Amino acid sequence: MTDTALRIKNPSVTLYAFHLCQDLSQELGKLRPDADQLWQHCANLSQPLAIPDLKSLPEKLQSPPSQTAITSRYIKLLPDNGRLTYTPPLQIEGSALTVEVYPVKIHDTYAVDITLYYQNVTVP
Domain ranges of the chain: 3-123
Q: What are 84's strand-pairing partners? A: 101
pLDDT of amino acid 52: 87
Span 37-79, pLDDT tens digits? 999 999 999 988 888 889 999 999 987 765 544 567 889 999 9
Is residue 100's pLDDT more than 80? yes
Report whether 4 contacts 115 (CB < 8 A).
no
Span 17-29, pLDDT tens digits? 999 998 888 787 7
User: What is the model's pTM?
Assistant: 0.83
Torsion sign over Cα 18, 24, 29, 30: negative
Residue 112 burial by CB count (10 A; 0-12/13-18/19+): exposed, middle or buried? buried
Residue 18 burial by CB count (10 A; 0-12/13-18/19+): exposed, middle or buried? exposed
pLDDT of amino acid 2: 57
